[in-house]
Amino acid sequence: MSKNHIASGHRLPKSAPSALYQQVRNYIDDKITSKEWVAGDRVPSEHELVAQFGISRMTVNRALRELAEEGRVVRVAGVGTFVAEERPQSTLLQIANIAEDIRQRGHRYRCKILSVELVPATPEVASAMGLHTGQQVAHSRCIHFENDVAVQFEDRFVNPRMAPDFARQTFAAETPAAYLLRAVPVQEIEHVVEATLPNKRQAALLQMEETQPCLVLFRRTWTDQTVVTMVRCYHPASRYRLGSRFPVNGAGR
Amino acid sequence: MSKNHIASGHRLPKSAPSALYQQVRNYIDDKITSKEWVAGDRVPSEHELVAQFGISRMTVNRALRELAEEGRVVRVAGVGTFVAEERPQSTLLQIANIAEDIRQRGHRYRCKILSVELVPATPEVASAMGLHTGQQVAHSRCIHFENDVAVQFEDRFVNPRMAPDFARQTFAAETPAAYLLRAVPVQEIEHVVEATLPNKRQAALLQMEETQPCLVLFRRTWTDQTVVTMVRCYHPASRYRLGSRFPVNGAGR
DNA sequence: AAGTGGTCTAGACCACAGC
DNA sequence: CTGTGGTCTAGACCACTTG
């Protein structure tokens, strides 16, 4: 039997990342992601995993310890290891999911697509996305409604090299943000928040007065050091706030 | 000689947190915090630390691995372990340090303290901080200037139970934010960002027009499940933006 | 008493840098 | 070649929770 490969009693993770503790971590992570194990469920004890995979306890321990540090499981000495409650996705990333956000408040969500097309990149867009001016770039515009009240105007550009099918979508069942989240794994995010007064067109789209402020969220996401999308989200300030709450990095020391 | 205590060749950390790997971690962390070791310096190898403290390599390895995960040191297999460059403190926390922010842009920073006093908590303040209405709470107001232009009006309330000396400070050498950061270790942070139009008083303090929007950052911090401070920071939108860029949580998997 | 996780040891093999 | 970190093992002791 080969070393460095979980293969004993049960299924083994596809495309093993070589490190044993990683394979154990992925094994458990997959069980949780696939909902086979849900919040509160008991995870096999270290001893059980040792027996199941035929590896040492230190190795199992590292896998479980890292999952606990990530908040994926909760460990209680003397009791056991349990699947953690889903985390509220902290750090403004929640905003990526305005649809979920609205639905979780128990409100009706609707999205109106204004346009989806391929256009040549303006100098501003090219510079922000690391493209050449005039290069083809996907452009989408839509309005998000909460109980039929406009709460966000989304003006988005997408790198066609990273998401080639973006411009062919109708976005009838899925928002542009949700499509991208599914199609391209995000590795890095930048957020810039501004307050502005809307121009005439923006005010009309958001059914707001021109004298009232807009909260503008500018976001870029990267995968493999390449900008996948840049998007400006305009919110009538009277109807929207951005929030986040999270533990501080070095808190546990 | 007792177990569970580094005591061999060299000084031992004060108030040992019992776990050996923690003591090693703190030992190295302190060297870096105290600037005894600076960015780029070589950290003793695992073998050297094993010899120095008379403990096993797995224990040293865990200490160094966790420091590397935190970004405190950088490890290169086959080469060694080195003190990492200082991190840009991501995730909007940078805003805690508007003074550093301004100085790092090479601009002149100045802070004008308007008031520091003990006042009875209003219902709004009491509710946000988990106090009783009328209970004493510290209140400070100040304006932050960048090159003598007002960029932030800071309106802050502080729980006197968590930072009893706050109201006695003059804040001549240190901003209220810097004092609190030093006096009370923060464990959790909440941010809410809004856009508003300023009232007459705010507009006058920030030397801005009443028709121009304000970007308002509301922040609360917790230590031991207790609110330490709540603060509203008002920025003239034309002179300030909030930004953050950071890697996404599950990216490394 | 039995089971759990938290920690620690004293070895080991490996891939990789640099000389 | 030696030294480095990355990983893994097969034990161990402990404090804790639960029946």
Give the tens place of pLDDT for each residue, A211-238.
999 999 999 998 878 999 999 999 999 9
Can you give the pLDDT at residue A99?
86
Closest CA to A110 of A150, A155, A145: A145
Q: Is the pLDDT of residue B21 over 90?
A: yes
Report pLDDT digits (tens) over B175-190. Answer: 999 899 889 888 788 8
**Positions of chain C reached by protein Cβ under 7 A:** 3-12, 15-18
Q: Distance (Å, rounded) from C-alpha B112 to C-alpha B209?
A: 20
Can you give the pLDDT at residue A4?
57
Can you give the pLDDT at residue A138?
97
pLDDT band with cut points at 50, 70 and 90 for residue B95: low
Helix (H) / strand (E) element for A141: namely strand A136-146
Could you tell me the distance in Å between the CA of residue B41 and the C1' of nucleotide C19? 21
Q: Distance (Å, rounded) from C-alpha B32 to C-alpha B39?
A: 8
Percentage with pLDDT > 90 across chain A = 66
Can you give the pLDDT at residue B87?
60
Could you tell me the distance in Å between the CA of residue A215 and the C1' of nucleotide D3? 56
Nucleotide nearest A79 (Cα, C1'): C4
* Structure letter (DSSP) for residue A71: T
Q: For the stretch B94-118, what's the b/e string if a residue is b when 16 or more beta carbons lie within 10 angstroms of its beta carbon?
A: bbbbbbebbeeeeeebebebeebee
**Positions of chain D reached by protein Cβ under 7 A:** 3-12, 15-18
Task: Supply the DSSP string of B88-139, one letter for each residue.
Answer: ---TTGGGGGHHHHHHHTT--EEEEEEEEEEEEPPHHHHHHHT--TT-EEEE
Q: Distance (Å, rounded) from C-alpha B63 to C-alpha B23?
A: 8
Q: Do B91 and A246 touch (CB under 8 A)?
A: yes
Closest CA to B221 of B172, B177, B173, B175: B177
pTM above 0.85, yes or no: no
Could you tell me the distance in Å between the CA of residue A221 and the C1' of nucleotide C11? 46
Residue B225 neighbours by CB under 8 Å, 6+ apart: none
Q: Distance (Å, rounded) from C-alpha A153 to C-alpha A188?
A: 23
Q: Is the pLDDT of residue A16 over 80?
A: no
Q: Is the pLDDT of residue B96 over 70?
A: no
Can you give the pLDDT at residue B88?
52
- Which residue is nearest to the C1' sugar atom of C3, using CA? A78
Report pLDDT digits (tens) over B203-236. Answer: 999 999 999 999 999 999 988 778 999 999 999 9
Can you give the pLDDT at residue B251?
42
Q: Is the pLDDT of residue B1 over 70?
A: no
Can you give the pLDDT at residue A242?
82
Q: Distance (Å, rounded) from C-alpha B230 to C-alpha B232?
A: 7
Q: Do B237 and A58 touch (CB under 8 A)?
A: no
Chain B residues in contact with A229 (beta carbon < 8 A): none
Can you give the pLDDT at residue A91?
54
Sign of the alpha-carbon torsion through A33, A39, A44, A49: positive
Q: Distance (Å, rounded) from C-alpha B135 to C-alpha B141?
A: 19
